[in-house]
Structure 1
Amino acid sequence: MKKKLVWFRNDLRIHDNTALYHACQYSIDQVFALFMSTPKQWLNHSVSIKKISFIYQNLLYLQNELNNLNIPFYHLQSTDFKQSIYDLNFFCIKHKINYIFYNYQYEINEYNRDVFIKKYFLEQKIIVQGFHDNILIPTKFIYTKNNKPYKKFSSFKKKAIEILCNNIPKCFPTPIKRILLKYHLFNHTEFKKYKINFNINLFPPGEKAAQNRLEDFFNNKIHDYTIKRNFPFLNHTSILSPYLSIGIISLRYCLNILSKRYDNIFNITFLSSWLNEIIWREFYYHLLIGYPLLGKLQSVNSWEKNIIWDNNINYFHAWTQGKTGFPIIDASMRQLKDIGWIHNRLRMITSNFLVKNLLIDWRKGEKYFMSQLIDGDFALNNGGWQWASSIGSDATPYIRIFNPYRQSKKFDKSGHFIRQFIPELKYIPDAHIHNPHTWEDINKITLDYPKPIVDFHENRKKTLLVFKQAKYKFIFK
């Protein structure tokens, strides 16, 4: 009989969990489960309190699911990744573990930790098996002809769809119940300060809640998702990102459920926009794997280092607090601070505004988002910020600068979303809600809402010049 350990990370589920499935292949083997929290590492990575609290609630749910399988679930708290290796070793010695199973993480610190672990436990004569679980397509199958990762999304997407059309990865079944082991109570005392720091009605914990949310999306939203997805006040997206970020549900499961409803899902027009988002997620993960420098908050475009940022601390503070004087920006940032989640269109508008209108280093915004998001995911957050900043791998030849007034009128025409998060503008007429200071001037009153902190048109010219100079210096250095 072998003793096997499943090390849970950002894969807090029992269904379609690659590492868990492979550890449970033989019923006579004893299987243990472990989660290791690393508060110091979380702090260094700017993980939000809401996300930590969400993790905790899902660990309690996972504990019950594993108990039903007679798999004892343990928790260890380590300060950081380095310490976690030695704590893991002590656990393995204590329980006489022969095998360790886990699903890969792709961020640079996590990757380096796993490389060290394989060497370290080989010396301890413990076999370590890692699995690709958080991506749909292994990287070796989606390289360019030069055997390098794709940098352009359009090229990546074409290849990804070609692969997935022929073979959507199958889900791994839930393991069968184990031979009864001694019951172990999950130790959650270290998490007490993180209890319910998120809106539990918006983000109910547990694998079943995630599956129900997916079903609701497929039943009620996906048919007109392409038409309605960009309007934040409609609540017409799946809002699965918090669950995907810590692996409460897998992308394989999402695609398999969709494939049971429709044949040839990549050839159905009304499914294309949502599947496009899935492929963007895959693209950002493949970039992170293929270009480790992204994990160090660098860009694959070297000219980005020449950008001279203003980094005005007062502007940055106004942006974080939702007090820039641009209603769509401020409503979005207040929602982020309130619930730890904002619509993807709003992530693009607010990040583009910080970088292109305020000339603040994208890394500051990227870090702030991570510190607030309940669905904080390094690969996606980093990729999104680099895209919005026009310095990423898929950057366009021109500098994309969103006009916040136009974006506001286009995606929140009547100001429903704005009024929801900016009560100071509750009674402003629709015609003036996107630029309330025009109404303020007409009526000769003073609103309890700040005036715009910058002139959009003037700052747009400045940004174009700064980016042009940065590229020029790189070409002619």
Structure 2
Amino acid sequence: MNKNLMWFRNDLRIHDNTALHNACLSNIDEVICLFISTPKQWKKHFVSVKKISFIYQNLISLKKELLKLNIILYYYECTDFLSSIEYLFYFCGKHKVNSLFYNYQYESNEKDRDYLITQKLSMQGISIKGFHDNLLINPNKIKNKNGQPYKKFYFFKHTIINYLSENVPICFPIPKKRILCNKNNIDRIYFSKNFHINFNQNLFPIGEKEAIKKLKFFYTYKIEDYLVKRNFPSLNGTSMLSPYLSLGIISIRYCLQILFKKYKKKPLIDTLHTPWINEIIWREFYYHLLINFPMLSKSQSLFKWEKKINWSNNINYLNSWKNGETGFPIVDAAMKQLYQIGWMHNRLRMITASFLVKNLLINWRYGEKYFMSHLIDGDYALNNGGWQWSASIGSDSTSYIRVFHPSRQSEIFDKSGAFIKKYLPSLKIVPNNYIHNPYEWIIKSKCQIDYPKPIVNYQNSKQKFLLEYKLAKSFYNKNKD
């Protein structure tokens, strides 16, 4: 009989958890689990307080579900990854662990941590078993004809769809209840005073079961209209599953498998469901990029010429953007949403990111870190990939540079200003035909409203940005070796 340790990280679930499934394969082995929190490391990585609170509350839920299976979840809080290595080594010795099971994480610091603990435990004769669990497909199986990883989404998507047409992702069941379990002296999960519930539980209820409910509700009532409603922030047309996926509270494979069962694989060719599949594949793409191009987790871009961009990095503009005081209502309302609930609609993420980079000429890295520091669904691979895409220095397949016009975007996707007025109540008195340019109405009506004048001229700032990008590329091409 062995004692197996399941090391939980970003995989806080019991259903379709690859490492947990493998740890429980033998009925006679004793299985214990461990989660190590690292507040100092989280702060260094700009993890938001809302996300940390969400982690703790979901750990409580996970602990209860594991106990039903006669599996104990131990908890320990230390400062950073280095100290977590020392504690894990100590824990394995104390509990006489024979095998360690975990699911891979792909960021640079996390990979270094896992390498060090693997080396240290292997020297003690402990078996180490890691798994690609946070993905649909093993990244080694998705390469181009030259055996190289994809950099462009279009070609990646084509390959993924072909693969999934022949290979439905396997989902592992919940492990069977264990025979052996020592429930004496079970450590309780300790909560730092700053990390009690401070997120909206109505929007983000706690636990894997609630995540599955959300998924099934989305498939039952929302997915048929997803193509039409997904871009309108006031319509609540999205799944709102991103916080659960970011912590592995629900499996991405399970999301796809349930969809396949419902529509018998039609989503792969059915345009009605293509946008939802598209979002799943984008998620996969950004993870594969992070795995295949490790420099992405060190704030580097795919294109070297990006280093030659002459960013203005105006601190006043940056603060106006953060505070939702740019004078562009859709940008400001989106930033207020981010601050208030720790989540932002995907269309709004693109609009606000484009505005920061391409109208304020501020380095995308400032926006990337600010988003991470406030998002309850902060996910490094997706956040980094999204910002590089928005900055047109990443994986965009188009030959032109996209620049979102905030006013036109809100005219299309928030025509009546319902979303704008929800998060900018001072603009409720502004007539709908002026809601996308309220400053014009303020001047005409001479009405005193606490709302700022636009901080930049859209067209002028766009042209300045395009010129800076053109100069950066030109300078790099002339001076590269």
Could you tell me how far 1:395 is from its partner in structure 2?
5.3
Instruction: Tell me how far apart the structure 2 counterparts of residues 419 and 39 of structure 1 sit (CA, whole Å).
Output: 36
Given the alignment, which residue of 412, 415, 418 partners 1:413?
Answer: 415
Alignment of 1:202-351 (within 5 A): 202-264=203-265, 265-351=267-353
Q: For residue 189 of structure 1, what is the amino acid of its counterpart? A: Y
Q: Residue 114 of structure 1 aligns with which residue?
A: 114
Structure 1 position 87 matched with structure 2 position 104:
no
Q: Residue 29 of structure 1 aligns with which residue?
A: 29
**TM-score (structure 2 length as normaliser):** 0.98
* Contact 1:53 1:195 (8 Å CA) reproduced: yes
* Contact 2:30 2:180 (8 Å CA) reproduced: no
Alignment of 1:353-372 (within 5 A): 353-372=355-374
Q: Residue 19 of structure 1 aligns with which residue?
A: 19
Q: For residue 327 of structure 2, what is the amino acid of its counterpart? A: G
The count of corresponding residues between Structure 1 and Structure 2 is: 477
Structure 1 position 155 matched with structure 2 position 187:
no
Deviates more, 1:98-107 or 1:436-445: 436-445
* Contact 2:351 2:406 (8 Å CA) reproduced: yes
Q: Residue 392 of structure 1 aligns with which residue?
A: 394
Q: For residue 238 of structure 1, what is the amino acid of its counterpart? A: S
Q: For residue 93 of structure 2, what is the amino acid of its counterpart? A: I
Q: Residue 474 of structure 1 aligns with which residue?
A: 476
Instruction: Tell me how far apart the structure 2 counterparts of residues 380 and 186 of structure 1 sit (CA, whole Å).
Output: 34
Instruction: Tell me how far apart the structure 2 counterparts of residues 365 and 134 of structure 1 sit (CA, whole Å).
Output: 25
Could you tell me how far 1:76 is from its partner in structure 2?
1.1
Gaps of at least 5 residues in structure 1 are none
Partner of 1:197, secondary structure, is coil
* Deviation digits for residues 362-411 of structure 1 (CA, Å, limit 9, x no counterpart): 00000000000000000000000000000003353322111111011011
Structure 1 position 403 matched with structure 2 position 405:
yes
* Contact 1:77 1:190 (8 Å CA) reproduced: no
Instruction: Tell me how far apart the structure 1 counterparts of residues 205 and 95 of structure 2 sit (CA, whole Å).
Output: 34
Instruction: Tell me how far apart the structure 2 counterparts of residues 192 and 13 of structure 1 sit (CA, whole Å).
Output: 25
* Contact 1:387 1:395 (8 Å CA) reproduced: no
State the 4+ residue runs in structure 1 displaced beyond 3 angstroms. none
Instruction: Tell me how far apart the structure 1 counterparts of residues 227 and 290 of structure 2 sit (CA, whole Å).
Output: 28
Instruction: Tell me how far apart the structure 1 counterparts of residues 283 and 317 of structure 2 sit (CA, whole Å).
Output: 31
Instruction: Tell me how far apart the structure 1 counterparts of residues 255 and 161 of structure 2 sit (CA, whole Å).
Output: 16
Partner of 2:234, secondary structure, is helix
Q: Residue 171 of structure 2 aligns with which residue?
A: 171
* Deviation digits for residues 56-84 of structure 1 (CA, Å, limit 9, x no counterpart): 01000000000000111101112111111
Alignment of 1:19-98 (within 5 A): 19-98=19-98
Could you tell me how far 1:418 is from its partner in structure 2?
0.1
Partner of 2:31, secondary structure, is strand
Alignment of 1:171-190 (within 5 A): 171-183=171-183, 184-190=185-191
* Contact 1:56 1:191 (8 Å CA) reproduced: no
Instruction: Tell me how far apart the structure 2 counterparts of residues 307 and 431 of structure 1 sit (CA, whole Å).
Output: 38
Could you tell me how far 1:190 is from its partner in structure 2?
3.8
Could you tell me how far 1:48 is from its partner in structure 2?
0.1
Instruction: Tell me how far apart the structure 1 counterparts of residues 117 and 95 of structure 2 sit (CA, whole Å).
Output: 18
Q: For residue 219 of structure 1, what is the amino acid of its counterpart? A: T
Partner of 1:381, secondary structure, is helix
Gaps of at least 5 residues in structure 2 are none
* Contact 2:12 2:59 (8 Å CA) reproduced: yes
Instruction: Tell me how far apart the structure 1 counterparts of residues 330 and 448 of structure 2 sit (CA, whole Å).
Output: 20
Q: For residue 206 of structure 1, what is the amino acid of its counterpart? A: G
Could you tell me how far 1:168 is from its partner in structure 2?
1.4
Partner of 2:272, secondary structure, is helix
Could you tell me how far 1:186 is from its partner in structure 2?
4.2
Could you tell me how far 1:227 is from its partner in structure 2?
1.0
Instruction: Tell me how far apart the structure 2 counterparts of residues 259 and 402 of structure 1 sit (CA, whole Å).
Output: 34
Instruction: Tell me how far apart the structure 2 counterparts of residues 412 and 186 of structure 1 sit (CA, whole Å).
Output: 50
Q: Residue 195 of structure 1 aligns with which residue?
A: 196
Q: Residue 8 of structure 1 aligns with which residue?
A: 8
Instruction: Tell me how far apart the structure 2 counterparts of residues 193 and 28 of structure 1 sit (CA, whole Å).
Output: 41
**TM-score (structure 1 length as normaliser):** 0.99
Change in Cα spacing, 1:373 to 1:206, as seen in structure 2 (3 Å) is same
Deviates more, 1:137-146 or 1:170-179: 137-146
* Contact 1:63 1:186 (8 Å CA) reproduced: no
* Deviation digits for residues 320-372 of structure 1 (CA, Å, limit 9, x no counterpart): 11011100000000000000001100000000100000000000000000000
Instruction: Tell me how far apart the structure 1 counterparts of residues 136 and 462 of structure 2 sit (CA, whole Å).
Output: 39
Could you tell me how far 1:140 is from its partner in structure 2?
1.5
Instruction: Tell me how far apart the structure 2 counterparts of residues 249 and 442 of structure 1 sit (CA, whole Å).
Output: 52
